[in-house]
Structure formats: C-alpha cells, structure tokens
Amino acid sequence: MSSTARIALNRPLRRLFDYRIPDGTTLVPGQRVRVPFGRQQATGLVVETDVTPPPGITVKPILSALESWPALPSETFRLLSWASDYYQHPLGECLFTALPVALRKGRPAEQKQVTQWRAIGDPAEVPAGAPRQKALLEWLSGIGKSASDQEIIQAGFTRQQVKALLEKNLVQANMTPAQPAIAPHPVHDQQSPTLSEAQTRAAEQLARPAEGFGASLLYGITGSGKTEIYLHYLKQHLGRDEQALVLVPEINLTPQTVARFQRYFGTRIVVWHSALNDGERLSTWLKVRNGEPVILIGTRSAVLLPFTRLRAIIVDEEHDSSYKQGEGFRYSGRDVAVYRAHLNACPILLGSATPSLESYYNAQQQKYQLTRLEQRAGQARPPEISLLDIRSRPLDGGLSQPALGAIRKTLERGQQALVFVNRRGFAPVMMCFDCGHMVDCPRCDTRLTYHRRDRAMRCHHCDYQTAATEQCPKCESDAFKPVGQGTERTEDVLSAHFPDTPVVRVDRDSTQRKGSIQTILERVNTGEPCVLVGTQMLAKGHDFPGVTLVVVVNADGGLFSVDFRAPEQLIQTLLQVSGRAGRGAHAGQVLVQTCHSDHPLLKTLCEGRYLDIADQLLAERESGQFPPFRAMAIFRAEADTMEKALQLLDQIKPMAQTTGVEVWGPLPALIARRADRYRAQLVLNSDNRKRLNHVLKGICTHLDQQRLPGNVKWMIDVDPQETG
C-alpha cells in the first residue's frame, strides 16, 4: 500500500494537506514537492510522512519531489515548527519564510551558472574577412584566463562574435557558478587592535561553544568595543569548518561594519539583508544550506536560514525593536535566536549598551550570564549628559540659545555636532492661528505632517499625501503656520545660523535612494566640521569619531505615553544617541532639551548608568504586572467599522477569560482608524506562558471554523513591542 504525506503550503491557513507519495519515492520532512492544488500546482514542504488521511477524503498524488534532500534541514524545521506554535502563526507561512523567493516559487535549488569562454585556437586561423573575431580571440588569448559574456561585451565585442568563434572551434565554453565558492580561511587582521584589559576580562566571561548552550548578556556602554570583542571571540572560538550567525539591526549593516568583519575573516563573511536581489539571496542561502563555514552577518530574517553547522550566535544591539517583525509572522529575531542556540547547544551573545528589560531580567534570574564593560575603548571617555530646561525659553527651530551657542563653539573648535529630532518632515502639524483648524489625514485618526521640501502634507501612518497650501483650507486665513519641529525645519534654522558649515540631514526621506546613507556617512567621516540633523537613524550604532556634541531637541515625547514600553525606548534612544558623542580623541558633551528637567528618569539619565535606570524601570513593570513579569499577547481585530472590530473581540473575550489569564479590553487602538480600517484590541496577560499559548490556540481554532463577515480581519501578536 502506498503511503501518505502531510504537506504545508505557503498559504495563510492553519491546516496541512494530505497527498499520496508515488511508489518508489521516499520523502523526509522539510523536502520540497510539487503538488496539485485546486486547478493549479503549488510548491509544498513535507511536514510528516506515513500519516493516515482522514476517512472519506480522496488523496491526490504528489507530482514530484523538487530535490532529493530536505530544503529545510531538521534543526531549521524544528525551529520553525516551534516558532509557528509560539507565535500562533500558520505553519506553512512560517516554513516558507525560511526559503528564498526563487525556491518558494518552485525554481531549482541550484546556483545560476555562468558561461566562461577560453581561447583554444590561434588568432591566425581566423579568416581574413572577420577582423573583430580575430581581435576578440587575440584579446582572449592575451588576458590569459577565461572571460564571461559580460566581460566580453564590456571589452567591446559581441555575443555573435563569440558564437562564430565557437563554431570554428577556436574557443571553448566552461560553466561555473555565478559566484565563486568561498575559501574557508585566510585571515588578515594586521590592523586590528589588541583587546584592552577590560575587554579581555569581559571576553573571558562569555559562554563558549565547548560548553554547549549558554546565553551571555554583554552590557557594554556605547563605544566600549563590543564589536571588537565579537571579532576576537569568533576568531578564538569558531572552528574552521563551523558556521556563525551575527544578527544586527538593518541600519547597522553598513559597508564599514562588513569591512571590519572582512578584515578578520576575509571571504568567510556573507551578508543577508533586505537590499539583496533574488539571485544573491539564493546564492547565500545555498552556501548556508551546503554547510559552507560562513560567518553570516544579517538582519532579522537571517535567524531563519538553514544553517547546518551553527556553533555561535551573536545578537548586536539586542534591545533594538526592529528585531520584532511588525506584520504577518510576528516573530522576534532575538528570541528565536535564543531558542536556536538551545537547539544547537551553542552559545549566544546578546550585546547592547542599553539591554532590553526582558534580557536584563533574564540575567537577574540567572538564565543569562551578565558581563559588564563600563569603560570606553582606546582613549575615549563617556560623554557628559546634561539637561537643558526649555520652559519659557525662546526657541528657534526648536533650538534654545544655549544649544545654538554650544553648536557654534563645537564648530569653531573644528569638530562636528549632531542634532537629534524625533520627527521627519518640516513640522508635525499645520495650524490656522485664526480659526484653529488643523489638517487631519482623511483616512486615519492622525494629523498630516508638513514636508516643505516637496510642498506636501503627508500621513506617516498610511501613504496619503496632498499638496500643501499657503492659506488655511477652511477659512483662507494667511495665518496658517507650521507648529512643532521636524528635521527639515531644524535643518533650515541651522543652515541660516551656520551658513559656512555643511548641514547634513539624515532621515527616511533623505536616505531613500540606495547607497545614500553610505555617501552621507563617508562625508561625515572625513572629519570636516559639520552639523548632522536626523532621526532615530542617527542614534544607532554608528561610529562618528568627529562628533563631540549631541543636542536632543526634545526628550519629552516618551515620558507620559500610554505604552508601557515608552519610557524604556525613550531612555534607550537618548543613551544611544548620546553615545555618538566623543567616540574619538576629544571628550563628548550631550545637551538634552526638556520641559521636565525634574523628572526622575531624566535625572538618572544624566548619571549615564543604564542598569540603574533599568532597575527603576523593572520595578515599575513589576508593580504594573507587565512583561517580563507576565507574558502578554495582543489579539487585534480590524474592520470597515469599529463596531465590527469590537464585536469580534467581544465574542472571543469569554474564551480568553479562563483561570490564570487576565484580559484587558476590547478597546479601540491608539490610532483607531488607519488607512480607513478601524482597529481594536484585546490584551491577554498570564504568568503561565503555556496556558496563554493554549488559550490563543483555542481561539484560533474557533475562529478558523467560523465564517467571519467580509472585511473583518484578526491577528495575534505574542510579546508585542507596540501596545497602542
């Protein structure tokens, strides 16, 4: 009797499909197959074999196996199955997330081959009537190696000329992979510094591959040389034929970072990020799957790659909120990495100058081992942070006189200043001073941001935009003015104050073109005096040795937010942006403008000791019974009316209200309407994660069996980063 396999498809369905295995074919979990699906065919992944199909179902046969080996090796497969259950996301979509697009579509799992042409005949044999063919053969013989079509065209010849030579048997074609396979060694690190005493001490405390699973939280202040420690660590502990994964936030994966790793590990370094094209993705994926001894530096989704010899994981800036996927399969790259280290019985290093409260708590609970590195590397000293109360001070572009004065002095000394503004655009609102009108987004419950550079009013929550007007659209008054600060406005004011100094703006608008951030960073790294103005983008991980002054235009945004994570995120951002000051030979100074200079959180910030602040914040989390003291999941509903969204949540609320689970809501989301969709949420809390998982599963099963009114959507967010 022929046997049956259970197959996952790349569909948002919480179910699997049974197919008959053709005689003579053996399949293992993780293997790609081609199956009939409806009237079409689909790529599937084997989940289980030798299953018994439910009675009364006609089981269609699998058409073919796409390769004889599992695209997802068993460890990757287990990881994704675990994540599917933990995050309550359909298994099929989770598994397919780990495949590059080409493989999801069923293309062959092999690298594109490139034809290389080599001269095998004498140019004298080319007939006199074909001078270009002769020239091509001379060129090919001259370069002493084979050349690709592309190289031949670049040298001024054509494909037809190569073909003509091939017909005359004067050239030969060889097929080679598009990218050369990497060599496992050599390491050239003459330029790298030796670790300081403090770094060495920290490095010695870290968990090691020989000891099996172990998680180390490396708390190292900004500029303390954490990256240098990672490099030494991998060099010392990673075997020649082993793989390592280094996760970084998107913005940190700059050519400078990659170059630093390449100086140690040469061609062993491969990268994984959103800007790779499909071919590059496939090629890197295959290297990882083939077990080549790569050290892969990548962003969030790199944690799902099919490693087969993973022996060390590093998560840099482990607190960064970009590790949590915001839509679809809402996994945390950092948390999945910790589980993966478990599966591989290998160490994981979580590094940050501002560790997440979750990781810090784990360290306090002895689940992670805490290593502290509290001095800066080389000559650099930690910056001095002070608060600048701006109540009743006149401001120009958001900047007070003392702040402008400090920028002037910095530039006069030939140094660089960085001004941090938390909003892009010119101003967050336009307001009429006659009638009080403010311009709302017609599709969301938010205001439009004024972008003066392109005379537009834009919504930062949907893609709505409209032309900016000179007069109030309601009463036509001329007293229609921007209110508040955005990067563009601060840039204008700084350019007016310092006409002879370059003012460089860094935000999502100014860095949209590929490579533009690199150009900006290179310019700053020449060390010429300049003022950098920017958002979050500037706060993260960059090494600007010339910056000695950081000005924070307004620190108050996160102090009184309803989101329980807001104070943590505010302090992390402030300390990270402060950390850009004084990384070189000169001391750094940080001025934080605020209307709440007596706020206890800001006062502790000035002392610069993050763990003290973290203790304070953790105490607040504990009294509110927020994560990490309890597990949290948010059940979100979205519909074309608020009633429908709330109705769905009201319906499931009784299912969630079981012993050990506390339910808040349903309530409209902070931005209740977004892109014309109404959003509401139910928050589930429990000190028993298993129970919470069980409840979520029950609700999913219940909802899957129902026909919901059209236009109603629901989703689950386990360990949410944003609770609005």
Q: Which does 693 bind (CB under 5 to 8 A by kind): ligand ADP, Zn ion, none?
A: none
Smallest separation, CB 505 to Zn ion (Å): 23
Name the residue nearer to Zn ion (CB basis): 363 or 472. Answer: 472
Q: Which does 224 bind (CB under 5 to 8 A by kind): ligand ADP, Zn ion, none?
A: ligand ADP
* Other CB atoms within 10 A of residue 711 CB: 12
Binding mask 508-547 for ligand ADP (x = CB under 6 A): -----------------------------------x----
193 part of the interface to ligand ADP, by CB under 6 A: yes
Alpha helices (H) in 292-376, listed in sequence order: 333-344, 357-364
C-alpha to C-alpha distance for 577 and 550, rounded to whole angstroms:
7
Which position among 4, 76, 227, 284 is part of the footprint of ligand ADP (CB under 6 A)? 227
C-alpha to C-alpha distance for 718 and 539, rounded to whole angstroms:
27
Q: Which does 234 bind (CB under 5 to 8 A by kind): Zn ion, ligand ADP, none?
A: none
228 part of the interface to ligand ADP, by CB under 6 A: yes
Q: Could you tell me the maximum CA-CA distance found in the chain, to the nearest angstrom?
A: 92
Strand partners, 686: 631
Number of amino acids touching ligand ADP (CB under 6 A): 15
The residue whose two tokens read 């280290």 is 341
Number of amino acids touching Zn ion (CB under 5 A): 15
C-alpha to C-alpha distance for 668 and 651, rounded to whole angstroms:
15
Q: Which does 196 bind (CB under 5 to 8 A by kind): Zn ion, ligand ADP, none?
A: ligand ADP
8 Å CB contact between 521 and 553: no
Smallest separation, CB 552 to ligand ADP (Å): 19
8 Å CB contact between 539 and 698: no
Which position among 14, 107, 372, 443 is part of the footprint of Zn ion (CB under 5 A)? 443
Binding mask 447-486 for Zn ion (x = CB under 5 A): ------------x-xx-x-------x-xx-x---------
8 Å CB contact between 503 and 416: no
441 part of the interface to Zn ion, by CB under 5 A: yes
Which position among 5, 9, 195, 552 is part of the footprint of ligand ADP (CB under 6 A)? 195
Smallest separation, CB 709 to Zn ion (Å): 24
Which residues from 447-486 bind ligand ADP, rule CB under 6 A?
none
352 part of the interface to ligand ADP, by CB under 6 A: no
Which position among 76, 224, 344, 569 is part of the footprint of ligand ADP (CB under 6 A)? 224
Name the residue nearer to ligand ADP (CB basis): 423 or 586. Answer: 586
Written as one letter, the residue type at 431 is M
C-alpha to C-alpha distance for 260 and 256, rounded to whole angstroms:
6
Strand partners, 118: 172
Nearest to 318 by CA among 330, 331, 305, 335: 335
Q: Which two tokens stand for residue 82?
A: 């675990």
Name the residue nearer to ligand ADP (CB basis): 572 or 723. Answer: 572
Nearest to 171 by CA among 143, 196, 193: 143
416 part of the interface to ligand ADP, by CB under 6 A: no
* Other CB atoms within 10 A of residue 529 CB: 17
Smallest separation, CB 546 to ligand ADP (Å): 12
> How much of the chain is helix, strand and coil, in % rounded to 5?
35, 25, 40
Which position among 81, 115, 196, 651 is part of the footprint of ligand ADP (CB under 6 A)? 196
Nearest to 383 by CA among 604, 589, 603: 589
Torsion angle of the four alpha carbons 135, 141, 143, 148, in this order, in degrees rounded to the nearest 10: 80
**Site for Zn ion, rule CB under 5 A:** 432, 434-435, 437, 441, 443-444, 459, 461-462, 464, 472, 474-475, 477
Site residues, ligand ADP (CB under 6 A): 193, 195-196, 199, 220, 222-228, 377-378, 543
